[in-house]
Structure 1
Amino acid sequence: MIIAIDYNIMFVALPDIGSDLGFSAQNLQWVISAYSVAFGGFLLLGGRATDLFGRKNMFLFGLFLYAASSVLGGLATESWLLVAARVVQGLGGAFLAPATLSLVTTLFAEGTERNRALAVWGGAGGFGMVLGAILGGLLTDWFGWQAVMWVNVIAAGAAMAYGTGILPKTAKATTNGFDLPGAVVGTVASTLLVFTLVNGPEAGWGSGTTIGSLIGSLVLFALFIGIESKTAAPMMPLRLFTNRNVSVGTTITFLFMATFGAYAYFLTQYWQVVQGYSAWATGFAFLLPSGCVLIGTVAAGKLMNSYGARKTLLIALAVGFVGTAALALTMTQDSSYLVIAVPLIVLSLGQGVIFTAMFAAATTGVANEEQGIGSGIATTGQQIGGAVGLAVLIAIAAGAAGGETTDPARLTDGILVATWATAAGIALTFLATLGLKKPAAAATQVVASGEAAGDTNSVTAPAASAPASAPAPASAPAPAPAVSERV
């Protein structure tokens, strides 16, 4: 919820932050992107640290970094100080996100129980988006943009106090040691890659900085893969990618944030710059889509139990595409809120369902002792996707608007082109989702063939030879102790 609040609350406050601290139109994106660079760059380290040092410990450490950086941001009087605070906040998120997700995925058994838990987890994020939309406008209008930073101090402090008492102590992984070379090289490589993709549109894709950082990240990634393939205790076990759900699921999280996640920036520009909404009014304008995201995240658990994660994702992506295309067809400079409300409802419901289902898919078949790094890999795709999508869509919109950022008519043209580009990205995500496994169908086929042969052993024999990454058949989940017993 805290991470989701921060996401929406910062978008609403951006115009006031830009004018108060002297950001240029192009540099303003670094209030968002600095967070994304640090978050995406350190997620692998945060995920592995969660497995090695305990999920509860890393959960509390991430909250501490979040609270401390929010104090720094609330006191910032220069643009660079706020960007620095957002970097530290991103570090906190890099430890907090995989710790939170892996706590959910390890405390609840894979299948129906975990789907329900993930729906609650996703619902907390959806509620955070609603709360962030409201608080962003109210706090910015009443107390100034600094208040959107101070609210994190209160929320993170409360979560630390509550989590210390209620969360069970989690075991630390037994390993042959900590992969320090892999941790350093992998973190620097990820950070350089995100920096390249975020800074490229501003500095120019042919600039020395962009080319140098890109080459550096690719070289370091190659070195990282070499280290991970040889070390006895890799930070990121490469065999995880032999699980198709992990690799495809991470691609989905990347594309999701590059489309749905980045589009909130353009809604803020549309309402505040094109239509002249105040920060307060913009916050309430976000209330409808954020509320629909909340409904979608909660509904995702029931949908996955009925149709499975793969089919649920395909349905939700189709709904999201229809809503985004309809929004592009109805959004004009003078469109009333009621005119675009229906497309916003449709795309937001799809967005909410996808958010929960994509993480269920990406963590399926991952062993409990590796849920931290598995969650870190999936969330890395999410954060890098957000940075890439925002940078690319801003470049597309700027090109369509002729570089104009103040003229409402030209800016509307750029936003419309970015909306169509978002719809195209959602269609690409639909195609990627087709690559997820269909475990339920495979299980049914195995059972049927065993019955036809009249040999009960033939039902279990294929399962015994299946790869370790394959999820258990939905029709015969492994028995698990009650939640209270495990806690």
Structure 2
Amino acid sequence: MALLAFCMLIFSVDYNIVYVALPEIGREVGFSAQSLQWVVSAYSVGLGGALLIGGRAVDRLGARRMLVLALGLYGLASMAGGLAGSPGLLIAARVVQGLGGALLFPATLSLINTSFSDEERGKAYAWWGTAGASGAIIGSMVGGLLTNYLGWEWVFFVNVPLCLIAIAGLLSNFDADAVQGDARGFDLPGALLATGASTLLVFGLISGPEAGWASARTIIVLAVGLALGVGFFALEARTADPLAPSRLFGYRGLLTAILIIFVFQGAINTLHYLFFIQLQDVMGYSPLQAGLAFLPMSAVAMLGSNKLLPLVVKRWGVRTALFTGMLGVGTAMIVLAASMSTSHSFWPLLPAVLLWGLFAGMIYPAMFMAAGSDAAPDEQGVASALAQTSAQIGGAMGMAALIAVANSGLDLGEGAHNAVGDVVNGLQLAALVGGVAAIAGAFLAFRVKSQKAAAQDTDVQAAPEPAITEAAQPQTIN
């Protein structure tokens, strides 16, 4: 349980640690102001493009095997990123880190869903969510410290020993995988179509604001991505052994999780962006100060994951956790909109920050609990990959739309200078719109079965338990 949480910590740290180093990376590696975003975006393209194939590889080739491979990719790409002397090399390293994440994320969730009893699984999800929240603390704070005292390279180098420790722990504490099904039946055409569609859609959504939504590049990239997506679903309907079986979309818990994650990630990605702009561009915080300003949010998020979520799920079920979490995140965005101003004081923002952390920390693991609730053991990897793919696309779309809202009243021409009050007005409007969208998304939670209904279904379906064969036994943890 602790080891899988540690793997999730690596994922979360790697996602957050690079933000505070961006200004120094831009100066020392030679990125332009426009191209610097690709230090972050390249990771998202690699992650979002490979999640489906990563999830299916976990199901077919084994979760432990793929998790070890993921950590190896993380370690090697982190070393390459720290040694990179040009923008192209650093972006390539970030793409490979994203590929590692596309294996790591579904592998950790698959091991949680197949390695623990029902009672222990809830605790494992709580620790998994806590690790994700604490990664935001460690990433923001340690990233600032490493950048200030050792240089930007160390936000990459720090991952290498962490990956080695995790690999050693996995090899010594988890049994070797038994390959699920016939690995030769892997749906290669479907994998290529899914990877191409996801990559182009994420790339198009991320690069759209820079290239222009009406530009030929953006239109062509998104159109080809959509066409590949349509081709993927058409192929999967006729394939005997599909990458993403159509029956998965009939699982109420998974489909609801995909929809909620899409809305949630768009809101939460924008919330991070708006908060950073408020702190640095409006209030004049340094990167280190901005990182430290995330401490209250991240600390409360750990409380939401590790304390509040188990309490709510045990008493009222996952549906209530999803509804309450989305309602809380939406409320936090509206409170943030009301508290933003041209003042340099952090205190008016604190109530929104605490609400944000508590409810985001609670709902994040709950969404993936719902995603895997109906899936069979050999479907856990692809189910979690579908959910995380939704997060990547929803995050990119939501952030693009809400940033456009924030910038709608500003002069974006080269050399333009906007009044701080106008910037704040745009931030407030974007936060308000995002908050209303999140609250509306909360009502999707009622598609999930209530705790009582789920218990009744279990009773109806209960039957004499068959003898457990060796192949059906849960993963053993030494």
- TM-score, normalised via structure 2 length: 0.90
Secondary structure of the 1:71 match is helix
Secondary structure of 1:68's counterpart equals helix
CA contact (8 A) 2:337 2:428 kept: yes
CA contact (8 A) 2:115 2:475 kept: no
Uncovered stretches (5+) of structure 2, i.e. residues with no partner: 1-8
Match of 2:335 among 308, 326, 332: 326
Indicate if the aligned counterparts of 1:320 and 1:346 stay in contact, CA closer than 8 A: yes
Letter in 1 for 2:180: A
CA offset digits 1:218-269 (Å, max 9, x no partner)? 2211221122112221111111000011111011122221111342223222
Give 1:400's aligned residue: 409
1:90-133 per-residue CA deviation (whole Å, 9 max, x = no partner) reads 111001110111111111234x4322210011111112111112
Which residue matches 1:30? 38
Distance 1:393-1:15 versus aligned 2 partners, 3 A rule: farther
Distance 1:291 1:387, change over 3 A: same
Residue 133 in structure 1 maps to residue 140 in structure 2: yes
Selected match of 1:65 from 67, 73, 79: 73
Matched, 1:251 2:259: yes
CA offsets 1:50-86 (integer angstroms, 9 cap, x no match): 0111101100111111111111211223223222211
Alignment check: 8 A CA contact 1:33 1:387 kept? no
Q: Residues 468-479 of structure 1: matches in 2 within 5 Å? A: none
Contact 1:25 1:405 in 2 (8 A): no
Q: How far did 1:484 drift?
A: 9.1
Shift of 1:24: 4.0
Question: What is the correspondence of 1:400-439 to structure 2 with a 5 Å cutoff?
Answer: 400-403=409-412, 408-439=420-451
Does residue 291 in structure 1 map to residue 295 in structure 2?
no
Task: Name the CA distance, whole Å, in 1 between partners of 2:121 and 2:86.
Answer: 45
Q: Name 1:302's counterpart in structure 2.
A: 311
For residues 77-156 of structure 1, the aligned pairs below 5 Å read: 77-110=85-118, 112-156=119-163
Separation in 2, partners of 1:484, 1:68: 28
Distance 1:306 1:286 in 2: 30
Question: Which of 204, 213, 221 in structure 1 is aligned with 2:229?
Answer: 221
Structure 2 residue 248 is matched with structure 1 residue 240: yes
Q: Against the structure 1 CA distance between its residues 290 and 340, is the aligned structure 2 distance closer, same or farther, given a 3 Å change threshold?
A: same
Note the alpha carbon deviations across 1:132-151, whole angstroms, 9 max, x for none: 12102111111222221111
Per the TM alignment, residue 397 of structure 1 is displaced from its structure 2 partner at its CA by 2.2
**Which residue of the other structure, out of 209, 212, 219, is the alignment partner of 2:217?**
209
User: Quick one: which amino acid aligns to residue 169 of structure 1?
Assistant: A
Which secondary structure state, in structure 2, belongs to the residue aligned with residue 358 of structure 1?
Answer: helix
Q: Distance in 2 between matches of 1:36 and 1:177?
A: 29
CA contact (8 A) 1:197 1:391 kept: yes
* Residues 344-387 of structure 1: per-residue CA shift (max 9 Å, x gap): 10121000001111111111110001111111111111222223
Q: Which runs of structure 2 are paired with 1:40-79 in the superposition (5 Å)?
A: 40-79=48-87
Structure 1 range deviating more: 246-255 or 73-82: 73-82
Once residues 406 and 63 of structure 1 are traced to their aligned partners in structure 2, the CA distance between those partners, rounded to angstroms, is 44
Aligned to 2:192: 184
> C-alpha separation between the residues in 2 aligned to 1:304 and 1:252?
17
Distance 1:259 1:478 in 2: 45
Equivalent residues of 2:175, 2:476 under 8 A apart: no
Identity across matched positions, percent = 40
Is residue 288 of structure 2 the alignment partner of residue 280 of structure 1?
Answer: yes
**Structure 2 letter corresponding to 1:249:** A
Distance in 1 of aligned mates of 2:73 and 2:418: 36
Equivalent residue number for residue 454 of structure 1: none
The count of aligned residue pairs is 462
Contact 1:12/1:268 (<8 A) preserved:
no
Q: Is the 8 A contact 2:47 2:102 kept in 1?
A: yes
Contact kept, 8 Å, 1:289 with 1:345, in 2: the verdict is: yes
Name the aligned partner's letter for residue 157 of structure 2.
Answer: W
Q: Distance in 1 between matches of 2:434 and 2:467?
A: 42
The question of whether the paired residues in 1 share the 8 Å contact of 2:300 and 2:361 is answered with yes
Aligned alpha-carbon RMSD (Å) = 2.6
One-letter amino acid of the counterpart of residue 346, structure 1: L
Query: Whole-Å Cα distance in 1 between the matches of residues 235 and 146 of structure 2?
Result: 48
Structure 1 window deviating more from structure 2 (96-105 vs 327-336): it is 327-336
Q: Which residue of 1 aligns with 2:379?
A: 370
Other-structure match for 1:158: 165
Cα distance, 1:362–1:320 mapped onto 2, change above 3 Å: same
Which letter maps to 1:66? Y
Letter in 1 for 2:265: M
Change (3 A) 1:436 1:29: farther
Asked if the contact 2:133–2:361 (Cα under 8 Å) also holds between the matched residues in 1, the reply is yes
SS for the counterpart of 1:344 is helix
* Aligned-partner SS, 2:447: coil
**2 CA distance for matches of 1:14 and 1:263?**
19
Conserved in 1, the CA contact under 8 Å of 2:324 and 2:442? no
- Distance in structure 2 (CA, Å) of the matches to 1:290 and 1:213: 36
